[in-house]
Structure 1
Amino acid sequence: MRVAIAGAGAVGRSIAGELLENGHQVLLIDKSPEAVSVARVPEAEWLLADACEISTLDEAALERCQVVIAASGDDKVNLVVSLLAKTEYAVPRVVARVNNPKNEWLFTDAWGVDVAVSTPRLMSALVEEAVSVGDLVRLLRFSQGEANLVEVTLPEGAPLVGTRVGEVAWPHDTALVTIIRGARVLIPDPDDALAAGDELLFVAAQDREGELQTLLSPGGTPPPSDGPLDMPGAPRQ
């Protein structure tokens, strides 16, 4: 798989290193001479140029990439790169880094983004996941389909404790992906009985999260909805 990464800072280089170790071809693009440090990732291709310019992306042969990662420290740059990759080069998968959580509402398929990765949101979700029992925690938002990866740890006394997976009337547009029970990762089977302390991971439509929270832990508080956030100077979508 050929992957182009716009932004050769610490984040971009780290991603490149991981992908190279997994056997993929990687091209790093950055307009800053200080960022283009070939010695740090010698196995990658490097291009000193502005990733927001069509001429640069032509030179990078973006049409031959299966994935483009917009990993710069500037949200405006990441949005422009994502839009160009999707609309001008039909790249199948575009992943974009969100630096400012207030701009997260912009990182959708309207701007060519397939997956938006917000480090602050991810870190806060991981903290909540570690300490929350009985409350639904949103771990990851999928830009397409308005679905999220959510987690809940079943508390003692929850109504579903002891109930078989196949007997539960799960909300529509909701799928139980896996059950983490201690050191075990279980593929859900209709005959599996839920137990207190189980970590349940779901892919769920955002408008079904409240129903899922009520089903798993009555009295719990549904996660906040993702309303539009203001980005100064940016048009509403």
Structure 2
Amino acid sequence: MRALIAGAGRLGPQIAQVLAAARNDVTLVDVDEDRVAELDGHLPVRLLAGALTADLVVAATGEDEDNLVISLLATRQFTVPRVAARVNDAENTWLFDQSWGVDTAVPAATPLISLIEEATGATDTVALLRLSKAGVDVIETAITPESSAVGRTLAGIRLPTGAVIATVIRDGRPTVPAPEMRLQPGDELLIVSHAATEQEIHAAFQ
């Protein structure tokens, strides 16, 4: 599948990383040239725009107005078959429909894995994150300012049996989870687990 993701802020690079890992052809675009340059070489995706041959466009900027315009152009101008758009302000949800070219409206609070599944319309796109046949799941949890884990090192977090931190996503970038790394508000963690429940994982950090 060819996917174009608009918005290289916190969310866009995460979506790009997962879709690229699932062997999709991914392009990530942003109006901020400095941000694009910062990401260059850190993601297995193209950082140049081109919507004409995309099968999927994900409008993932932090501005609802931009996401609506991107969706409309993708549908009307480039006839992209599937468009998913992030809704940053819940009060604007009613706008995100077919009249603006949006097939799937995704609330900002939706977990990353669920968002990608909604955007692609097929759970097998992120099969690498749903390793059910091997009895393994990848669970996402976010660190908020109120989380008990803020300021603690990864080594100081007591995880449930059978759970391992796969990566920490900070400022939109996957980071190697070194034991001495201290967690900050806004960090998102992907935890691989073959036994622990999602509730147990969240409890360890909240």
The structural deviation recorded for 1:35 is 1.9
1:75 paired to 2:67: no
Q: Distance in 2 between matches of 1:4 and 1:44?
A: 10
Q: Distance in 1 between matches of 2:50 and 2:20?
A: 19
The AA in structure 1 aligned to 2:9 is: G
Tell me the residue number matched to 2:138.
none
The AA in structure 2 aligned to 1:3 is: A
Q: Is the 8 A contact 2:84 2:103 kept in 1?
A: yes
The structural deviation recorded for 1:80 is 0.2
1:160-219: CA deviations, max 9, x gaps? xxxxxxxxxxxxxxxxxxxxxxx9xxxxxxxxxxxxxxxxxxxxxxxxxxxxxxxxxxxx
The structural deviation recorded for 1:63 is 2.1
Tell me the residue number matched to 1:5.
5
Tell me the residue number matched to 1:66.
55
Q: Runs of 4 or more off by more than 4 Å in structure 1?
A: none
The AA in structure 1 aligned to 2:84 is: V
Tell me the residue number matched to 1:46.
47
Tell me the residue number matched to 2:186.
none
Q: Distance in 2 between matches of 1:65 and 1:114?
A: 15
1:102 paired to 2:91: yes
1:84 paired to 2:73: yes
Q: Distance in 2 between matches of 1:77 and 1:29?
A: 13
Q: Distance in 1 between matches of 2:72 and 2:51?
A: 13
Flag the 1:39–1:61 CA change in 2: closer, same or farther, 3 A: closer
Q: What's the % identity of the aligned pairs?
A: 42
Q: Name the SS for the 1:15 alignment partner.
A: helix
Q: Name the SS for the 2:52 alignment partner.
A: helix
Tell me the residue number matched to 2:28.
28
Q: Name the SS for the 1:4 alignment partner.
A: strand
Q: Distance in 1 between matches of 2:16 and 2:50?
A: 18
The structural deviation recorded for 1:113 is 0.1
The AA in structure 1 aligned to 2:46 is: E
TM-score (norm 1): 0.45
1:26-46: CA deviations, max 9, x gaps? 1011011232111321x2000
The structural deviation recorded for 1:16 is 0.2
Q: Name the SS for the 1:44 alignment partner.
A: coil
Residue pairs, 1:1-237, within 5 angstroms: 1-36=1-36, 37-41=39-43, 43-47=44-48, 60-120=49-109, 122=110
Q: Name the SS for the 2:34 alignment partner.
A: coil
TM-score (norm 2): 0.51
The structural deviation recorded for 1:85 is 0.2
Q: Name the SS for the 1:64 alignment partner.
A: coil
The AA in structure 2 aligned to 1:6 is: A
Kindly name which structure, 1 or 2, has the bigger radius of gyration based on alpha carbons.
Answer: 1
Runs (5+) with no aligned partner, structure 1: 48-59, 127-141, 143-182, 184-237
Q: Name the SS for the 1:63 alignment partner.
A: coil
Q: Is the 8 A contact 2:4 2:50 kept in 1?
A: no
Q: Distance in 1 between matches of 2:77 and 2:104?
A: 18
Q: Distance in 2 between matches of 1:116 and 1:18?
A: 19
Q: Which structure has the higher relative contact order (CA within 8 Å, separation 6+)?
A: 2
The AA in structure 1 aligned to 2:98 is: D
Q: Count residues in correspondence.
A: 112
1:96-151: CA deviations, max 9, x gaps? 0000101111000000000000023x47xx9xxxxxxxxxxxxxxx9xxxxxxxxx
The structural deviation recorded for 1:78 is 0.3
